[in-house]
Structure 1
Amino acid sequence: MGGDPPAGELLALARSGDGEAFRRLVEPYRRELQVHCYRILGSVQDAEDLLQDTLLAAWRGIGGYEERASIRTWLYRIATNHCLNALRSASRRPHEYPAYRPEVPLPEPSHQRAEPSWLEPYPDMLLEQIADREPGPEARYELRESVSLAFLAALQQLPAKQRAVLVLRDVLGFRAAEAAGILELTEDAVNAALRRARATLAGELSGRDWKSAPLPDSPQERRVVEDFARAFEAGDVEAVVAMLAADASLSMPPLPLEYRGLDAIGNFLATVALRSGVRHVLVPTRANGQPAFGCYLRDPRTPILHAHGVLVLTLTGSRISGITRFVDNSLLPIFGLPRSLRH
């Protein structure tokens, strides 16, 4: 018969130094642990690094695992504390990104973004690899909500420990006692941190209606996405603006610039992104539970299409309420997209 041996047998083999048994023991949790690190860190590339650190620490420490908690909870304890250590280190070592040099001067932004410059998109194809596991009964957010760009941006505003508490309690549904064990805090400290985190998050997400977005790959979502792609590729600024919600925003992480409202976005599109002579090809993908595109620039002199970042749409009903273009081309391979295309 196929299949893995019972977890207890795999654990005994792993403790004896069997690397393959250890891999099979932790494999069911690999992807959800990476998403956990991503929520806390905001960077998919950092999350993968921390996942590897977590699994290495677990392999080295498997002999000391005392089975007071499940393997899953034990792994979350290691991952969470590695993330908190990384955040403490990151406060002294800022992220470095390739310098973004726009082809033309950017118009004055209507706002300076508060969200962190290191926020990166997370491919849906990786989310689909998470084991079908319901969060605990105390969770407040569904998976789709808890990986959305708006939620991630709001989460990054929290102090590190509050961020970890809120993710453990309200996203994953761990009980207060379990979260306290993971973070090596008292239950009172966990509950106090959670109250503060919830209050901050409520302010950051004020007015957001999660349920108004069309379902992924629904006819309504496909219609909006296809209409947007057609208008954007044609360079039709008026058609793009006509699809926007009145309070829509456009941003370009890691730049701290934000354009809000139809006039500001229309001006940016007309003078920068879709200015005369500039044409794009959009390759559909998905990020953070939202429709997205790999963005490529046409070169009129050659058949080569050059990478121009990842563009993510936030939908509210049949309107586009957010356009987020991540300008770092190194993100494209994470989505299985090439740095260039032949047209």
Structure 2
Amino acid sequence: MTDAGPLDADETTFLAAVRSGDAARFASLTERHRRELQVHCYRMLANYDDAQDMTQETFLRAWNKRESFKGHAALRTWLYRIATNACLDLLDKRNDRTPVPSELPDPASELLYLQPYPDRMLPEDPQESVVARETIELAFIVSVQHLPPRQRAVLILRDVLGWPASKAADALALTVASVTSALQRARVTMREQLPDRRLDWRSPATHELSDDERAVVKAYIDAHERNDLDGLTSLLRDDLRFAMLPEVGPVLMTADDAVDGWVSGGLFRRGHDDWRGTITMVNRMPAAVLYLRTPDDPVHRLFALAVLHVVDGRIAELIGFDATDTPWLELPPTL
């Protein structure tokens, strides 16, 4: 695997660290790639905890295989290759990382291992940031999980990272023809999974919340704080896609059905009627952090995180998470 052009200062210094066995210098040069590698692993695995583990595994493998780095490829390319194969090895071993058919009347599958990704851990490199939103949004992450692992790796390497077919083939020990075929099949699946989304992930995309998005998430929080069922219903598109993980997978439903389901589950009844909320972002998406105060409690405690996809001023997708078990998001426990 080769990258065009002479070695830059990083590769030259790294090569010297490899040859001398300088572990501290080796760690310093690889550590600067941690955030982007962790996002790469998250795209492969849809789980923050697993992404952390596989990033650490990448650094361990890199140290153990340091003699294989000859400077023919960029350090970043070499690390991505190791990270991709670490994720593939995990997926080969773990059948709980394959979407399972939902018993609900919906063609989607359950992703009970899906976890939100904190924006503060996204890469600071502006070249990564311009594509980060549409390739870190939950809809993309969920859709990618429906690809077989090696198709998933090909799609991410080729269409997200922009690698040429020859480099992706070398990284995955495949032929260029196999990579081209896998990419074609993966793109077909992604068009089926994301029929209404822009699929040109290599062109610039925004990563800041629009005024429209901020207004909708604020209205969503306000509706909870006022116990306003009509207001909540009016925010939802009629073809809402909803999931509350880890209980069930994504399902399509009408806005009225969604609200009826929430009410039957206790929403706005005594004990579930004293809400407060704040606006945040995860996966470059607008999100409402909801805090609930029960009758015998003097404070509002962290309860749920609702991640919203807003289209034309209404909520098209809502994925809820139990926020009490997401320490990596660093949300205040009380409000």
Please say if 1:200 is aligned against 2:189: yes
The offset of 1:116, in angstroms, is 1.8
The offset of 1:255, in angstroms, is 2.2
Aligned-pair identity in percent equals: 37
- Deviations along 1:102-121, one digit per CA (max 9) or x if unpaired, are xxxxxx96647414221111
Instruction: Identify if the C-alpha distance between structure 1 residues 89 and 110 changes in structure 2 by more than 3 Å, giving closer, same or farther.
Output: closer
The offset of 1:160, in angstroms, is 0.5
Please say if 1:220 is aligned against 2:212: yes
Is contact 1:44–1:120 with CA below 8 Å preserved after alignment? yes
Equivalent residue for 2:243?
251
**What are the ranges of 5 or more consecutive residues in structure 1 without an aligned counterpart?**
96-107, 136-140
Is contact 1:283–1:295 with CA below 8 Å preserved after alignment? yes
The offset of 1:280, in angstroms, is 2.5
* RMSD (CA atoms): 2.6
Equivalent residue for 2:5?
none
Equivalent residue for 1:166?
155
> Which residue of the other structure, out of 263, 268, 271, is the alignment partner of 2:264?
271
| Structure 1 Cα separation of the partners of residues 209 and 257 of structure 2 | 29
Is contact 2:18–2:26 with CA below 8 Å preserved after alignment? yes
**What are the ranges of 5 or more consecutive residues in structure 2 without an aligned counterpart?**
1-8
Is contact 1:298–1:304 with CA below 8 Å preserved after alignment? yes
- Deviations along 1:54-77, one digit per CA (max 9) or x if unpaired, are 011112221221222111111011
**Matched residue count:** 316
Stretch moving more, 72-81 or 56-65 = 56-65
- Deviations along 1:196-255, one digit per CA (max 9) or x if unpaired, are 1111111111133689x9973332222112111111222211101111112112211222
Please say if 1:184 is aligned against 2:173: yes
Equivalent residue for 1:133?
127
Secondary structure of 1:195's match? helix
| Structure 1 Cα separation of the partners of residues 264 and 87 of structure 2 | 41
Equivalent residue for 2:78?
74
- Deviations along 1:140-192, one digit per CA (max 9) or x if unpaired, are x9321111111111110010110000000011100000100110111011011
Equivalent residue for 2:4?
none
Secondary structure of 1:292's match? strand
Stretch moving more, 173-182 or 198-207 = 198-207
Is contact 2:116–2:283 with CA below 8 Å preserved after alignment? yes
Equivalent residue for 2:317?
322
Is contact 1:232–1:274 with CA below 8 Å preserved after alignment? no
Equivalent residue for 1:86?
90
Secondary structure of 1:308's match? strand
Instruction: Identify if the C-alpha distance between structure 1 residues 318 and 214 changes in structure 2 by more than 3 Å, giving closer, same or farther.
Output: farther
Stretch moving more, 219-228 or 169-178 = 219-228
2:330 partner letter: G
1:165 partner letter: V
Stretch moving more, 149-158 or 56-65 = 56-65
> Which residue of the other structure, out of 240, 256, 265, is the alignment partner of 2:232?
240
The offset of 1:34, in angstroms, is 0.4
Is contact 2:220–2:232 with CA below 8 Å preserved after alignment? yes
1:224 partner letter: V
Structure 1 residues 34-73: aligned runs within 5 Å: 34-73=38-77
| Structure 2 Cα separation of the partners of residues 308 and 219 of structure 1 | 26
Secondary structure of 1:185's match? coil
Is contact 2:207–2:284 with CA below 8 Å preserved after alignment? no
> Which residue of the other structure, out of 156, 175, 196, is the alignment partner of 2:164?
175
Structure 1 residues 101-180: aligned runs within 5 Å: 111=106, 113-127=108-122, 129-133=123-127, 142-180=131-169
1:197 partner letter: A
Is contact 2:97–2:113 with CA below 8 Å preserved after alignment? no
> Which residue of the other structure, out of 315, 329, 334, is the alignment partner of 2:328?
334
The offset of 1:130, in angstroms, is 3.6
Runs of 4+ in 1 over 6 A off after TM superposition: none
Is contact 1:10–1:21 with CA below 8 Å preserved after alignment? yes
Instruction: Identify if the C-alpha distance between structure 1 residues 196 and 176 changes in structure 2 by more than 3 Å, giving closer, same or farther.
Output: same
